[in-house]
Structure 1
Amino acid sequence: MKKTSLKLFTNSLARLFTYHEAVGKANVQKTTFFVTALGLAGLGLIGFSNTAFADAASELQSRLSQVNVLSAEFSQTVTSAGGKNVQQGSGKIQIKRPNLFRMDTKSPQETQIIADGKTLWYYDPFVQQVTAQWVKDAVNNTPFVLLTSDDKSHWNQYSVSQQADTFVLKPKSTKSNIKQFDIRVDASGVLRNFSTTEKDGQTNLYVLRNITNQSLPNNLFQFNPPKGVELDDQRKNKVWGVIDYALNFYFKCFNGKIMANLDFDFSENDFRPLAARMRPTNLDQYLVNHILSVKVNRYAKRFKRVIFIL
């Protein structure tokens, strides 16, 4: 087998995974403040700014908490960074406080996002795949759950500012795929619309209509993966989860045929360092370094055995 074939496989794998929160130390941007006599007054403004952010977050949470149950239809408009309308969609959103959220997109493609209080489920029937994440790990890239959350650890991941009835939430983590999350909710707690702006400038605007506040059963927010779909369970240990998914994907697509002459001479400990630096950008390089460097001369039994270890 040629290394180029395996590299093509690893490149494909690298595009499959999006990690919503890398393990390890966060990069902290250092800023130097030059304090002059005039700048001393600015210290008061810094304190005022922090207070303003805290007040905006409290005001937003207070408004959202006024409505315990909500059902609505939504229209979705996707706009490019250049302001071009690139897609229209529609669906239904259902909310029940605390911590229950459901969004069913009907067009242009059916998808489901369901938060049951602990797990965030994303189901794409077209590709027959379900992704499961802990809500606490998903909120950094899926801020929709903040609409029903009272958890301070969730809200602490965002800074909040207010412009009339619009609240702008910006993730504190530089690793988030979201640039900002806007929520428009009036003083009586009626949610009008919300939008996400991605780092590339693309905006997804969701405008609500036909809003009702009738009771919703809790089982509406429960999700059981349909039989036969692929489950990407990111609630597992991140290292073993990605390897498990990668190997199963590989053997499902290629039936292990081109691996017949590979002998992977490694132990479980070889994967441990990955936990400290797992990122979408270096997954490909990690696989290349640790898989292409192994001996290519015997059977793939040890490689296949990893699946059962996982």
Structure 2
Amino acid sequence: MIKTRLLKLISASAVFLCFSVYADAVSELQQMFAKHSSMSASFTQEVTKSNGDVVSSAEGTLAIQKPDSLMMHTVSPDEQVLFTKGKDVYFYDPFINQVTIFDKKDLYTSPFLLLTSNRSDIWNQYTVTKESGKYRLVPKKKADIKELSLKFNGEDICSISIRLMDGNINTYNLTSIKYTVANDAFSYTIPEDAQIDDERKSN
């Protein structure tokens, strides 16, 4: 009887400890993001296989502003633009002159859109832990993203790694970080003759 009670006590303590660590990690990470309402940076992107082989690399610029504003402009090796506009997300590929439009609410699994949001219902979609100085975010529901890993240099986020279900790892390293962003940083003019692929559910 005593042994059973002891096991129950240990189990309950373990659950409480895990919940406390989880709550502390979420709170700590949200506090890091809450210090600034906007951010811009240059990025280098590298996609690697699970064995470490490099699949592709790219570079560009990133701008974020709360709530829910994002501009991600890849300039090399090929230009691509991902940005928010109202309740929608636009992805423009100049090479094929096509813009794809998504509902923003369907793309909150994107780590960069997650960084622009203070909404608890968005953050509650992840289990957050802190390991070896990195924050690890695992979606509670099955998604294309298996986990996110965020690394900071002081108060600056310097690396975002996205592990996909196929085993590939997409890593963004950020440099030249600033915390003031001009409003026109989120504007991009899509050519009038661009093909439109409208993926919004309302259309």
State the aligned residue count: 199
Q: Which runs of 5+ in 2 are unaligned?
A: none
Establish whether residue 115 from structure 1 lines up as the match of residue 84 from structure 2.
yes
Mapped partners of 1:103, 1:58: distance in 2: 27
Please name the residue that 1:227 is paired with.
192
Larger radius of gyration: 1
- Give the deviation of 1:225 after TM superposition: 4.2
Seen in structure 2, the aligned counterparts of structure 1 residues 216 and 205 have a Cα distance that, compared at 3 Å, is: same
Q: Which runs of 5+ in 1 are unaligned?
A: 1-35, 242-310
Seen in structure 2, the aligned counterparts of structure 1 residues 115 and 164 have a Cα distance that, compared at 3 Å, is: farther
User: Structure 1, residues 180-231: CA drift from partner, whole Å, max 9, x if none?
Assistant: 111113453x1211111111111111111122223421x4324554312222
Please name the residue that 1:134 is paired with.
103
Counterpart contact for 1:74–1:90, Cα < 8 Å: yes
Establish whether residue 52 from structure 1 lines up as the match of residue 16 from structure 2.
no
User: Structure 1, residues 64-104: CA drift from partner, whole Å, max 9, x if none?
Assistant: 11122222111111111111122221110111222211111
Q: Which has the higher helix share?
A: 1
Please name the residue that 1:170 is paired with.
138
The residue correspondences of 1:7-156 to structure 2 (distance < 5 A) are 39-40=7-8, 41-116=10-85, 118-140=87-109, 142-156=110-124
SS for the counterpart of 2:192 is coil
Candidates 179, 198, 203, aligned match of 2:146: 179
- Give the deviation of 1:233 after TM superposition: 2.1
Seen in structure 2, the aligned counterparts of structure 1 residues 129 and 109 have a Cα distance that, compared at 3 Å, is: same
Counterpart contact for 1:63–1:186, Cα < 8 Å: no
Counterpart contact for 2:103–2:201, Cα < 8 Å: no
Establish whether residue 157 from structure 1 lines up as the match of residue 146 from structure 2.
no
Counterpart contact for 1:75–1:88, Cα < 8 Å: yes
Please name the residue that 1:11 is paired with.
none
Mapped partners of 1:195, 1:135: distance in 2: 21
- Give the deviation of 1:135 after TM superposition: 2.0
Please name the residue that 1:303 is paired with.
none
Stretches of 4+ moved more than 6 A in 1?
none
Please name the residue that 1:252 is paired with.
none
SS for the counterpart of 2:16 is helix
TM-score of the two chains, using structure 1 as the length reference: 0.59
Mapped partners of 1:128, 1:158: distance in 2: 35
Q: Which has the higher strand share?
A: 2
Q: Residue 89 of structure 1 aligns to which amino acid in structure 2?
A: A
Q: Residue 183 of structure 1 aligns to which amino acid in structure 2?
A: L
SS for the counterpart of 1:120 is strand
User: Structure 1, residues 250-274: CA drift from partner, whole Å, max 9, x if none?
Assistant: xxxxxxxxxxxxxxxxxxxxxxxxx
The two structures, once aligned, show a CA RMSD in angstroms of: 2.1
User: Structure 1, residues 150-185: CA drift from partner, whole Å, max 9, x if none?
Assistant: 1112112111111254211111111x1111111113
- Percent identical among aligned pairs is 33
Mapped partners of 1:165, 1:143: distance in 2: 18
Counterpart contact for 2:63–2:181, Cα < 8 Å: no
